[in-house]
Amino acid sequence: MKPPLFRYHDPASVAEAVALLASTDNAKLLAGGQSLMPMLNMRLVLPDDLIDLNRIDTLAHVRENGDVLEIGAMTRQRELERSAVVRARCPLLTAAIEHVGHQQTRNRGTLGGSLCHLDPSAELVAAAMTLDAVVSVTGRGGERKIPFAQFPQSYMTPAIAPDELVIAVSLPLWGRGHGHAFLEFARRHGDFAVCAVAVMLEKNAAGAITRAAITVAGLDAAPVRVAAAERALLGQAPSEALFRAAAEHCRELDAVGDVHAPAAYRQHLAAVLAKRALAEAAARCH
């Protein structure tokens, strides 16, 4: 239960980190370390080079830029949790973070690290999927932006090349009157979700739903947007019957069972949590 031997690098700039990635062929990037350090301690990863990003100050920031929230990849989860601008403009992210691990892990854990680790039940991954986040990565070939729908390639595998690193995440902001909800079921507070549901809703002056985003996490290899449920809500007035019908689409999602819960139970949780989350988000719309 001790980390294996590796060469340690702690670059002070993104350019240095990119150069290191280009000159090594079995390197791991160390962000907050709340997933990679356990994997090193358990020898589940055996990198020849460890590139520690913690000295790169330019990667930690939260900026409201017009109708986009720009968050540096190395911004600590605890900083996001306490950020007034996140709470005011993107409360879904605040609500999701309150379920992420514990204060001791949020003090170190970063947004970029969680998105790249891409645990199927990770709350920040589910929030990024719901918010249509755009991930900025850079590498030898220059900078590019990845829409979050294309970010998970497969189980715990983000669409990042081995010589690239995530530098920032942009969250397009919804209108100030939008409603949000993030609900999850876990055995203990701070555990990864057995199932989590994130919802964003917008209504018009007449009370009809004009925009909806629903994500279910914990069922399969990566969280999924439930397009059928989103479509069922558009143009409708919020009601318990509408939410129940829309939420039933979550029961039809592919699911994988494991030691924590069988597939059918996860699908049931998805439908129940989606119905509750829709009602909660609708109540917050104004």
* Interaction site with other proteins (CB under 8 A): 1-8, 10, 33-34, 37-38, 40-42, 48, 50, 52, 54, 78, 101-105, 107-108, 188-190
- Min. distance of Cβ 183 from other proteins in angstroms? 16
User: Which of 102, 231 has the CB closer to other proteins?
Assistant: 102
User: Which of 189, 286 has the CB closer to other proteins?
Assistant: 189
- Min. distance of Cβ 83 from other proteins in angstroms? 15
- Min. distance of Cβ 127 from other proteins in angstroms? 20
User: Which of 43, 145 has the CB closer to other proteins?
Assistant: 43
**CA 182 – CA 274 distance, rounded (Å):** 9
Structure-block tokens of residue 52:
């520690």
User: Which of 37, 227 has the CB closer to other proteins?
Assistant: 37
Q: Interhelix angle for 240-248 vs 263-284, to 10°? A: 150
User: Which of 36, 212 has the CB closer to other proteins?
Assistant: 36
Return all residues near 76 (Cβ < 8 A) that are at least 6 apart: 32, 60, 106, 107, 108, 109, 110
Alpha helix (H) residue ranges in the chain = 14-23, 36-41, 77-82, 84-89, 91-97, 103-106, 111-117, 123-130, 227-233, 240-248, 263-284
- Min. distance of Cβ 182 from other proteins in angstroms? 16
Of 232, 184, 241, nearest in space to 212 by CA:
232
In this structure, which amino acid lies at residue 202? E
- Min. distance of Cβ 17 from other proteins in angstroms? 16
- Min. distance of Cβ 216 from other proteins in angstroms? 24
Three-state secondary structure string covering 109-169: CEHHHHHHHCCCCCHHHHHHHHCCCEEEEEECCEEEEEEHHHCEEECCEECCCCCEEEEEE
